[in-house]
A and B are shown apart, each in its own frame.
Chain A
C-alpha cells in the first residue's frame, strides 16, 4: 500500500486537463495535507488552464495545520463554503476550469507538505511560506511546484538500511544464541575439559566432583561404623554362650533352688550387658548408609542404600586387593575385611536387629534373638551355630523312645522281660542325616494277642509328637515251650520336627 502511494504518476501535457484530472488518482489530484514526515506524491500538472475561469477566494487557514487521519481535509474554501468531501478533485476543477490563481494560492498553501519527502526531489521550486492572493497569472508548474522526481537511490538506500538492520538483528540473534549455547555447553557438559587449565573445572564437573567426594566420605564413615559394629558383635558373641548356659540352668527341671537363683542373677547381669551391646549395634544399623546428595535424577531411599552398600563393598574389595601377595598381613586384615564385608552384604541380619525393641525383651525372647543373630550371621560363629542347630540331641531322643515304649509296656527297661515279658530292644540305630531310627528286638506275651501288643506300640510311636512314619506291616509270632508267644521286631520310624495330623491330641506337642 505504501508503495502504491509512492508510485509516480505520469501526466501527458497533450491531453486535455479534464481528462488528465480524471485519470489522476483521486488522492494525488491535489496534494493533501499530510502528517509531518510522510512523503507526499504530487501529480505533474502540465495541462493548460482556462484563464477565463472565475476568480475564487481561497482561504488556506484550515490547510495550514496537518489534518487528522481519517477525516476529510479542508483544503480551501470557495466563496466561503468549505469543500471537505473531495477537496483535491475540487481544487483541480477550480484550477482547470475556473480560477487558476485561486488554485495556485491553494497549492502554495499545501506545497510545504512535500518538502519532507525522501523519495521525491522538490529542488528548484519555490516554497512560499505564506498564503497569497491569486492574481490569475501563475502557471500550472508554479501552481503545483516542480515535477517530483522518483529517487531510486534514496529508496535503495532505505531498503539497504532496512536490510542491514534485519541482518544485524539476525546476526545478533545468532551470535546471542551461540553465546548462550556455548556458555551452557561449556558449563553443563562434564566431558568438556578444554578450558579446565585456564578456567578450572566447569559447573558440571565440580557438581560431579562434590557428589563423588560426598559419597566417598560417607563411605569412609560407613566403613568405620561397620567395623565398630563388627567389634560390638564379636563382643556379643563372647557373651551369647554364657548367657544361654545361664538361661538353660534356670530352666532345668530338678535344679537346686540356690543354683537356679544364682543362675538367674547371673542371667540378669548378662542380659543387661548384652542389651547394651545390642543397642549400640542397633544404633549403627539404624543410621542411613547413604547421604542425600543432589542428583539430576530422583533417587529412592532403598536405591540410595543399595548404592552406598555397593560403594562400601567396592572400597573393601579395593583395600583387600591392595594387600597383594603380603600373606602375613592378609591373614589377619583380610579376615577383618571379610567380616565387615559379610556384615554389609547381610541385609537380613541388619533388619533383624533394627526391628527389635531391645529394652522390652524378656529373657526368653533375648535368648531366641541371640540364637537368631548367631544363625543369621555370616561369620564363623554363625556357621558354628547353624551346625549346632542341625545337631540332634540323642539323649532326648533315647528318653522319648523309652516314653513311647512304656505306653505299650509300662515295665519296659526294668529287667522284667524274662519274667513277665513285654518288649526288649537289643540295638538302636540312629541316622542324623535322614532322621531315621531303627530298633531291633523282641516281644513276648503270655496270651496270644502279641500282634495287638505290637500294634499298640506302633500307635504309640505314630501318635507321639517326636516320631512319625513308622512302617511295620508284617507280623509273625511263635509259641515257645513255656506257652508264651514271641515275635521278632524290627521297627523303623523317623524323627518328627513339624506337627503331624496323626499325632495324638492328648499328648503335648514336640519342642
Chain B
C-alpha cells in the first residue's frame, strides 16, 4: 500500500545512503593513498636534496682522481696497444722477430730464422673483439736458444715486457744429430713452429 512517492522517497534514502557509504569507503581508501603519496613526495624531496649533494661531492672527487690518473691511463693505453695492437700490424711483428733472433744469435750459440709466413687474420670465435694472426716459421738453433724462444713466446702479452701477445699452436722438433741430448745446450735443433699473434679486431674492415 506504499505510494509511488513514498517508494521514491525510500529509494532516495536507500540509494543516497549507499552512495554516501560508497563515497566514504572510496574516499577513505583513496585518501590513504593520496596521503601516502604526498608524504612520499616530501620525503623524496629530502632524498633528492641529499643525493644532489652526494653527486656533487663525488663528481668533484672523481674529476680530481681522473686528472691524477690521466698519465697512468695514457701509459696503460700504450702498454695495452703494444701487447694487443688495434690492427694485425704484421710488419711490426716481423721486426720484433728479427730483433729477437738477432739478439740471441751468436757464433757459439746460433739461432737462425730461415722462414716466416703470415696467414690471414680472423676474429676469435669465443671473443670476436680479439683477432688472431696465424704465423709459421722454421728456425734452426741451439737447444738453449730454442728454450729462450719458448720463454719469449710464454712471456709475451705481459705489461712488463710490453711484448705482443702470442701463443704456440704446434711445434715440431728435429735433431740433426739423430739423438736428443738433454744436457747439451749447444745441440742444434731444427724446429718448425705454427703460432698465432693477437690483436684487437678493427672496427673498420679492410
Contacts and interface: CB of A to CB of B under 8 A. Distances in A.
A228 B62 contact: yes
Interface string B149-162: 01101100111100
A210 B40 contact: yes
Interface stretch (A70-78, A94-102, A104-112, A384-392): A384-392
B17 interface: yes
Contacts, number: 228
A207 interface: yes
Interface residues of B, number: 82
B23 A204 contact: no
Interface stretch (A121-129, A172-180, A299-307, A448-456): A172-180
Interface residues of A, number: 77
B125 interface: no
B127 A231 contact: no
A213 interface: yes
B153 to A, nearest CB: 8
A214 B47 contact: yes
B19 A159 contact: no
B102 interface: no
B37 A207 contact: yes
Interface stretch (A136-144, A259-267, A429-437): A429-437
A207 B16 contact: no
Given A231-B66, A293-B44, A180 B182 contact: no
A224 B129 CA distance: 26
B180 A413 contact: yes
A426 B178 CA distance: 6
B12 A169 contact: yes
Interface string A382-423: 011011101111110000001000000000111101100000
B58 A170 contact: no
A292 B47 CA distance: 9
Interface stretch (B72-80, B90-98, B113-121, B133-141): B72-80
A423 to B, nearest CB: 9
Contacts of A433: 169
A386 B73 contact: no
Contacts of A294: 36-37, 40, 43-44
Contact of A428 (B20, B27, B171): B171
A433 B132 CA distance: 14
B61 to A, nearest CB: 8
A472 interface: no
Contact of A414 (B51, B174, B178, B182): B182
Interface in B1-56: 3, 5-6, 8-13, 15-17, 19-20, 22-23, 26-27, 30-31, 33-34, 36-38, 40-41, 43-45, 47-48, 51-52, 54-55
Interface in A148-191: 159-160, 162-163, 166-167, 169-174, 176-177, 180-181, 184, 187-188
B172 A429 contact: yes
A207 B40 contact: yes
A180 B45 contact: no
A35 interface: no
A238 interface: yes
B33 A228 contact: no
Contacts of B13: 166, 169-170
B76 A237 contact: yes
B75 to A, nearest CB: 7
A380 B168 CA distance: 20
A210 to B, nearest CB: 4
A22 interface: no
A203 B5 contact: no
B99 interface: no
A181 B36 CA distance: 17
A386 B127 contact: yes
A159 B5 contact: yes
A218 interface: yes
B19 A380 contact: no
A431 B169 contact: yes
A166 B44 contact: no
B170 A383 contact: no
Interface in A204-236: 204, 206-207, 210-211, 213-214, 217-218, 220-221, 224-225, 227-228, 231, 234-235
A428 B6 CA distance: 114
B69 interface: yes
Contacts of A380: 80, 84, 129, 200
B168 A391 contact: yes
Contact of B48 (A172, A174, A213, A388): A213
A175 B134 CA distance: 85
Contacts of B179: 415, 417-418, 424, 426
A185 to B, nearest CB: 9
Nearest to B148: A395
Nearest to A160: B5
Given A217-B55, A395-B150, A428-B171, 16 more contacts: A159-B5, A159-B9, A166-B9, A166-B11, A166-B13, A173-B16, A203-B34, A203-B41, A214-B48, A291-B51, A395-B147, A417-B179, A425-B180, A426-B179, A429-B173, A432-B170
List the 7 closest pairs (A to B, CB-CB), nearest first: A413-B182, A177-B23, A170-B16, A294-B40, A166-B12, A210-B44, A184-B30
Interface of B: 3, 5-6, 8-13, 15-17, 19-20, 22-23, 26-27, 30-31, 33-34, 36-38, 40-41, 43-45, 47-48, 51-52, 54-55, 58-59, 61-62, 65-66, 69, 72-73, 75-76, 79-80, 83-84, 127, 129-130, 147, 150-151, 153-154, 157-160, 165, 167-175, 178-184, 198, 200
Interface of A: 159-160, 162-163, 166-167, 169-174, 176-177, 180-181, 184, 187-188, 203-204, 206-207, 210-211, 213-214, 217-218, 220-221, 224-225, 227-228, 231, 234-235, 237-238, 240-242, 245, 291, 293-294, 380-381, 383-384, 386-388, 390-395, 402, 412-415, 417-418, 424-433
19 contacts: A159-B9, A162-B9, A166-B12, A177-B22, A187-B34, A188-B37, A203-B37, A214-B51, A221-B51, A221-B58, A231-B65, A235-B69, A291-B51, A387-B167, A402-B182, A413-B180, A415-B179, A415-B181, A427-B175
